[in-house]
Amino acid sequence: MSSQHPIFDHLARDARQRARPKPGNPAGAPVQALPPVPPVPGPVPVSPPMPVLREQGPVPVPPQTRPPDQPIVIRPTLLERALRRIAMIRPIHDIPADEAAASATLPQRAAEPDDRHTDRLLPVVQRLWLSGKVGTRPSPQQGASAGEQMLDLITSTPGEPKLPDEIFHRLRWGGQFLYVATNEKSVHNLAESYAGKRGFIIEQPVTMVQANTMGLRIPGLTPRGYAFLARKTRLLQPGDFTERFTYDVQLTPCTVCADAPDGYVVTKRIPTYEDLLQRLQHKFPDAEPGDLQSRAHKLVNHVFPTFLTREAAMLGILQNQLDPSFRHRVPKPLGIEKDSRGFVRTLHMKWMRVGGPALSQLDFAIQSAELLTALHEQARVMHLDLRLDNMVITPDGVGFVDFGSACRIGERVDQSPMLDTLFSEMMRTSQIQRMLGKMIERGHVTNNAIAEVYGKVDKTVDAFYLAVQIAKPHGNPDLRQLIRYDPASDVAKALSALTAAVLRPKNPEMAQYKTARDLVRGLRRIQQRFAPSA
Ligand SMILES: Nc1ncnc2c1ncn2[C@@H]1O[C@H](COP(=O)(O)OP(=O)(O)O)[C@@H](O)[C@H]1O
Ligand SMILES: [Mg+2]
């Protein structure tokens, strides 16, 4: 299955059919009169190095707010210290369930001399750097196999899996990795393999950690070690080829941004020419090198800048037009960087962090359809690429991202020859449109209102694709854990029946479901049917 961005899809076409900017309409032509996006909020600094961490008290200090080079001074009372010492040797039944589960997965490690004190040092760092959160410990057997839970925090000590490539695929985007050991050199070496490489950045550099014994630090007796904290900021590891991402999308630390969960923002950039050429060579191994070079050139200099500029503007429109209750469910633009022609080359936006409690399939469907209705009716924007890849589930509910191919309802893309060409290519070749074409051909879509938008820039495309997605919501592995879906359940069957009614109504001329609002109506009916009777 292809799940790439529609901009990439049109590359698979015959060169003769490929989009070419028409003479007299260079890529520099203004896209549309769209509202400006606020400027970039200054440089995006990385957190400063840390001083020695000492076990002094249970109060966590958020790393981003601490002034550089100021030692952490937390003064617990003697009683507190004594209680914490006692708590360290609490009986097994006192250990919280998540902690117990984490230690249950602990492998039988070879007794490394280096390892002696790390289990005492780990909680010290967890308290200070992670507000006391206890991360899951990886077991060698678990590795990075597919279908496993994606985690937000992994902690390791010597003898446990710890290399970036072992950890990357088990962490969600933005997840953290904490490592503690007593051998300074080995901690430095491991930190080096995480530093800006293999998809991570170092969030807290190697720092000495000290515990204490009854409030005292006794040389030779009090555990002492070294720790660092890394964060997964890349969606893919360098060198990993997938068709999924076309832009360079990563998390960037930002200490000055107001709207930055955990101090991070999402940065979407136009890839470099070299990167893109490499990706094209990988995707089209038989193509002429010269042809690929000119495609890469055109994408990097014309196509991507056009779409990223539009995306930044669309995000601005959404923040202006959507009701406040929906605004936070689409990315808020935080800043842009433009090239000399005025095209956006970098877009910073709010990170809609995936996580929170899992939604039922029905809630997922209702929230998505309501957001789509707001998009169409309040903002008058159609998304046009509403694949599960471009949806997130946050503690605030379902959100949509990637407005790169979005369009305003009523916007005359045909008035700009370049946009006209790009959009009509996209509408011919995007994954959603190809699927619609196949489904019409096989008789799976008889609803006239849907069939007639095949190949067109029309909001009904969004309603069609959402109706397909809600019946099978586990297509995006990142969201699987967050949608409770049992295909054999009555609700799942009712949702499949709704999808069938949308695609193949009894009367194709007078279909009951055409719009996102119609979908919400159908979903609400299912909700009433399955609501527990009062
Ligand atoms: N603001 C955001 N908040 C959370 N996740 C995001 C955000 N923007 C992008 N993503 C994640 O990054 C992925 C790639 O970004 P996207 O804008 O879809 O790029 P592309 O156009 O290359 O598909 C998305 O599928 C989504 O998982
Ligand atoms: Mg996308």
Question: Could you read off the pLDDT of 4-33 as tens digits, one per residue?
Answer: 555 555 554 433 343 333 333 333 333 333
Q: Average pLDDT in the 210-239 region?
A: 83
Q: How confident is the model at residue 428 (pLDDT cuts 50, 70, 90)?
A: confident
Angle at 203 between CA 202 and CA 207, to 5 degrees: 85
* CB of 331 sitting under 6 A from ligand 1: yes
DSSP-assigned letters across all residues of 385-452: ---GGGEEEETTEEEE---TT-EETT--GGGSHHHHHHHHHHHHHSHHHHHHHHHHHTTS---HHHHT
Query: Counting atoms of ligand 1 from 1, which one is nearest the CA of 354?
Result: 4
**pLDDT at residue 102 in the model:** 40
* CB of 304 sitting under 6 A from ligand 1: no
Q: What token pair was written down for 349? A: 């936006």
What are the backbone dihedrals phi and psi of residue 494, each rounded to the nearest 5 degrees, phi first?
Answer: -65, -40
Distance in Å, CA 368 to ligand 1 centroid: 17
Q: Average pLDDT in the 378-387 region?
A: 96
Q: Whose CA is nearest to atom 5 of ligand 1?
A: 352
CB 415 within 8 A of CB 408: no
State yes or no: pLDDT of 337 exceeds 80: yes
Distance in Å, CA 532 to ligand 2 centroid: 37
Distance in Å, CA 259 to ligand 2 centroid: 22
Q: What token pair was written down for 248? A: 């360079």
* CB of 347 sitting under 6 A from ligand 1: no
Q: How confident is the model at residue 292 (pLDDT cuts 50, 70, 90)?
A: very high
How far apart are alpha carbons 144 and 436 in whole angstroms?
Answer: 35
Count how many Cα atoms sit within 13 Å of the Cα of residue 288 in the half-sphere of its side chain.
6
Find, among 185, 124, 172, 176, the residue nearest to 154 by Cα.
176
Burial of 26 (0-12, 13-18, 19+ CB in 10 A): exposed
**pLDDT at residue 222 in the model:** 76
Q: What token pair was written down for 102? A: 């984490």
State yes or no: pLDDT of 496 exceeds 70: yes
Distance in Å, CA 402 to ligand 2 centroid: 5
Q: Average pLDDT in the 98-124 region?
A: 57
Q: How confident is the model at residue 240 (pLDDT cuts 50, 70, 90)?
A: confident
Q: Whose CA is nearest to atom 4 of ligand 1?
A: 352
User: Which residues make up the CATH 1.10.510 domain(s) of the chain?
Assistant: 6-42+278-343+352-530
* CB of 5 sitting under 6 A from ligand 1: yes
Interacting residues of 184 by C-beta distance below 8 A, sequence separation 6+: 206, 226
**pLDDT at residue 140 in the model:** 66
Q: Can you name the residues that pair with 228 across neighbouring β-strands?
A: 179
Mean pLDDT computed over every residue of the chain: 80
Q: Average pLDDT in the 161-182 region?
A: 94
Q: Which residues hold their Cβ within 5 A of ligand 2, which is an ion? A: 390, 402
Q: What token pair was written down for 414? A: 């045909």
pTM for this prediction: 0.80
What are the backbone dihedrals phi and psi of residue 79, each rounded to the nearest 5 degrees, phi first?
Answer: -65, -45
Distance in Å, CA 384 to ligand 1 centroid: 15
* CB of 425 sitting under 6 A from ligand 1: no
**pLDDT at residue 85 in the model:** 43
Q: Which of 252, 268, 276 maximizes ligand 1 atoms within 8 Å of its Cβ, making it the mutation to test the pocket?
A: 268
**pLDDT at residue 35 in the model:** 40
What are the backbone dihedrals phi and psi of residue 496, each rounded to the nearest 5 degrees, phi first?
Answer: -65, -40
State yes or no: pLDDT of 447 exceeds 60: yes
Rg (CA), the chain: 26
* CB of 234 sitting under 6 A from ligand 1: no
Angle at 187 between CA 183 and CA 188, to 5 degrees: 115
**pLDDT at residue 242 in the model:** 72
* CB of 458 sitting under 6 A from ligand 1: no
CATH for the stretch 6-42+278-343+352-530: 1.10.510
Q: How confident is the model at residue 252 (pLDDT cuts 50, 70, 90)?
A: very high
Q: Whose CA is nearest to atom 24 of ligand 1?
A: 390
Which residue stretches of 271-343 are H helix?
Answer: 273-283, 289-298, 304-321, 324-327
Distance in Å, CA 244 to ligand 2 centroid: 7
* CB of 150 sitting under 6 A from ligand 1: no
Angle at 155 between CA 150 and CA 161, to 5 degrees: 80
**pLDDT at residue 9 in the model:** 54
Find, among 229, 273, 271, 279, the residue nearest to 250 by Cα.
271
Distance in Å, CA 463 to ligand 2 centroid: 18
State yes or no: pLDDT of 111 exceeds 50: no
Distance in Å, CA 270 to ligand 1 centroid: 13
* CB of 9 sitting under 6 A from ligand 1: no
